Amino acid sequence: IICGFSAIYLLLSRVLNLPPENLITSISAVPVSQKEEVADFQLSVDSLLEEDNDHSRPDIQVQAKRLAEKLRCDTVVSEISTGQRTVNFKINRELLTKTVLQQVIEDGSKYGLKSELFSGLPRKKIVVEFSSPNVAKKFHVGHLRSTIIGNFIANLKEALGHQVIRINYLGDWGMQFGLLGTGFQLFGYEEKLQSNPLQHLFEVYVQVNKEAADDKSVAKSAREFFQRLELGDVQALSLWQRFRDLSIEEYVRVYKRLGVYFDEYSGESFYREKSQEVLKLLESKGLLLKTIKGTAVVDLSGNGDPSSICTVMRSDGTSLYATRDLAAAIDRMDKYNFDTMIYVTDKGQKKHFQQVFQMLKIMGYDWAERCQHVPFGVVQGMKTRRGDVTFLEDVLNEIQLRMLQNMASIKTTKELKNPQETAERVGLAALIIQDFKGLLLSDYKFSWDRVFQSRGDTGVFLQYTHARLHSLEETFGCGYLNDFNTACLQEPQSVSILQHLLRFDEVLYKSSQDLQPRHIVSYLLTLSHLAAVAHKTLQIKDSPPEVAGARLHLFKAVRSVLGNGMKLLGITPVCRM
C-alpha cells in the first residue's frame, strides 16, 4: 500500500490485535473492472485465518461480516463493505487522487519498488547467465528467448536493489574449433573475417563440415587441430583467440541494438584446466566410475539407475559440457560469492541442470541450492527473409524492415527524425510482448503477422500509448502542470486509472516471486486500455485550466508507470511514432 494509506493497516491492527506488518500480504488493491465501480483495497479474510490455524473456525463470510461491523470509517476510509471472503475499503476520493499522483511523480522510476511488500528485503548478489550462443554456429530462436528473458530477470533484480552480474557463457571450445581452424586454413579470407566475423566463420564451418563428411583427411586434420588447441599450441591458440575476440566484438554491437549488455563474456574455454581439477576432486571423493568404453561417469542415484548416470569425461581424458559447467559454477562462487545464480536456457536442458546441481551437492558444495534453472518453451516457425534464423542481426533487420513498412502505410510518421531507430524500438517491443504474454514454459508457433498486428494487445499498442501520452505533455505541458485540483478527477475513467496504479507494486512483487514477465505485461496492457478510454473522454483542450491540469497530471502519471514497466521488460519507450 502507498504510504498515504497505511492508515488501513493501523485501523485493522487495532481491531484484530495484530502487528501491522502481519497484514502486508493480506491486503491488496482491487483489480479494476470494466462493468462496475469497485472498492480500492480488500483484506483477504482467508489469509488472516491461516495465521491462527483454528480449524473449528466458523464460516468465513460470517467472519468477514463481523470484522466489517467492528471497523469504523475515518478521514482515509470512506466506506467499508464485505465481498466474497473479503472486507473491502473505499478510500476518500480526493485523498486517493492526491496521494497516488504525488507518489508516482515523486518516486519516478522507483514507483512501486518502495512498497512495504519489498521492505526488509536483503540486498543480494545475483549472477544471471543468459544468451550464451555458440561461436561459429547459428544464433537460433532459443538464444534469442534466453537473451530477452535473462535481460528481464536481470533488470527486475537490479530494480529491486540487488547487485546483478550478467554473464554470457559462450560456446567457445570443443571439436567445432578443430573444424573451424582447419576450415579457415582451407576456405578462410582475412578481410571477410575482419568485416563480418560471425557470418564468415559460420560459412567456413558449414563448408568444412561438408568436406569432413566426404574427405577423411579433413576430419583427421580437424581432430589434430583441436588436439593442438588442447595442448596449448601457440599458433593454434592465437587463431582461436582471434575468432573469439572478433566474434565478441560483433556480438557486443548487435546486443547493443537489442538494448542488452553483459558484465562478463565467459565461455567453456575458461574451464579447460579447471574441469580437470573437478575430475580429480570427484575421483578423490570416490564418485568417479570408469566404464568399459573408457569414459568416466558419476552415478547420482547410487544404485546404477541408468537415467541418473552423468558422463563427465571422454575416453581420451577430455572434459564435457557438464564437467565445464561444474567448474564454472565453482569458479563463480569463488569469484563472486553469490547468493543466487540463475541459468536461463530452454527446457530441454532441465535434466542437465538438475544433474549439475546434484553433483555439486554430493561434491560437498552446500551452496548448490542457491543455483536455479529458469526454463522456457520452444518457439516454432520463426523465419526471416534469409530463411531460418541464423544470426541475431537478421532478426533485428527483419523487425526494422517490417515495422518501417507498417509505419509507411500509416500517414502519421512523416516527421520522425530517425525512422529506422523508432521502427526498431517499436518492433522489438512487439517481439518482446508477444514472447512474454504467456508462461515462459509454453511452446508457441511464431507469426510475424501476429507480432505486428496494429490492433489488440501488442507491443505496438504499448509504444503507441506511450508516444501519444508524451505528445499530450508536449502540446499542453508548459501551461497546466503547475497546479491542479484533485477534486477534478472524480470521473469513473480517472478513478479506474488511479485504482490500477495502486496495484503496480503487487504486480512487481508477483513477477519477483515467480520470475514470470506476464504479470507486468498484462498490467501494462490494461493500463494502456484504460488510458485510451480516458484519452477519448477526458478532454484537455477547451477544459477549464484546473481540470486540464488535473487530467494532464493523470496522463503524466500513466506515462511514467508505463515507461517504467516497459524498461523492466527490456523495451525502450518511444516518444514519437
**For the segment 380-406, what is each residue's pLDDT rounded down to a tens digit?**
888 887 777 778 888 899 999 999 888
First-last CA distance in the chain? 35
Smallest CA-to-CA distance from 263 within 162, 156, 130, 159 is with 130
C-alpha 430/C-alpha 569 separation (Å) is 12
Contact between 576 and 467 (Cβ < 8 Å): yes
C-alpha 565/C-alpha 260 separation (Å) is 16
List, by residue range, all CATH 3.30.1360.70 domains of the chain. Answer: 5-91
Q: 203-219 pLDDT, tens per residue?
A: 999 999 999 999 999 99
Active-site residue, selected from the candidate residues 90, 98, 143, 470: 143
Got the DSSP string for 58-105?
Answer: --HHHHHHHHHHH----SSEEEEEEETTEEEEEE-HHHHHHHHHHHHH
Taking the CB of residue 137, how many other CB atoms lie within 10 A of it? 17
Name the strand (E) or helix (H) holding 242. Answer: helix 234-258
Q: What is the pLDDT of residue 53?
A: 57
Query: 389-569: which CATH topology?
Result: Isoleucyl-tRNA Synthetase; Domain 1 (1.10.730)
Q: Is the pLDDT of residue 330 over 80?
A: yes
Q: Is the pLDDT of residue 7 over 80?
A: no
Q: What is the pLDDT of residue 51?
A: 57
Active-site residue, selected from the candidate residues 98, 140, 373, 470: 140
Q: Which of 4-8, 69-73, 508-512 has the highest mean pLDDT?
A: 508-512
Here the cell at position 300 is 547420482
Which is higher by pLDDT, 230 or 440?
A: 440
Which is higher by pLDDT, 66 or 241?
A: 241
Q: 88-113 pLDDT, tens per residue?
A: 999 998 889 989 999 998 999 999 99
What percentage of the chain reaches a pLDDT higher than 70?
96
Instruction: Tell me the average pLDDT across 440-450.
Output: 89
Of the listed ranges 52-61, 77-86, 442-451, the one predicted with least confidence: 52-61
Rg (CA), the chain: 28
137: annotated active-site residue: yes
Active-site residue, selected from the candidate residues 137, 192, 352, 529: 137
- DSSP letter at 542? T
Residue 56 pLDDT class (50, 70, 90 cuts): very low
124: annotated active-site residue: no
Domain 5-91, what architecture?
2-Layer Sandwich (3.30)
Here the cell at position 541 is 483542450
200: annotated active-site residue: no
Q: Is the pLDDT of residue 413 over 80?
A: no
Q: What is the pLDDT of residue 320?
A: 84
Which is higher by pLDDT, 333 or 78?
A: 333
Q: What is the pLDDT of residue 377?
A: 96
Smallest CA-to-CA distance from 140 within 388, 349, 429 is with 388
List, by residue range, all CATH 3.40.50.620 domains of the chain. Answer: 125-270+326-380
Residue 429 pLDDT class (50, 70, 90 cuts): very high
Here the cell at position 540 is 484537455
Which amino acid belongs to residue 306? Answer: P
Cβ density class 158-188: b for 16+ within 10 Å, e for less:
ebbebebbbbbbbbbbbebbbbbbbbbeebb
Of the listed ranges 142-151, 258-267, 316-325, the one predicted with least confidence: 316-325
Secondary-structure class of domain 125-270+326-380 per CATH: alpha beta
What percentage of the chain reaches a pLDDT higher than 90?
59
The whole-chain average pLDDT of the chain stands at 90
Q: Is the pLDDT of residue 505 over 90?
A: yes
Name the strand (E) or helix (H) holding 546. Answer: helix 545-569
Q: Is the pLDDT of residue 48 over 90?
A: no
Q: Is the pLDDT of residue 372 over 60?
A: yes
Contact between 473 and 552 (Cβ < 8 Å): yes
Quote helix, strand, coil % in the chain, to nearest 5.
Answer: 60, 15, 30
Q: What is the pLDDT of residue 480?
A: 60
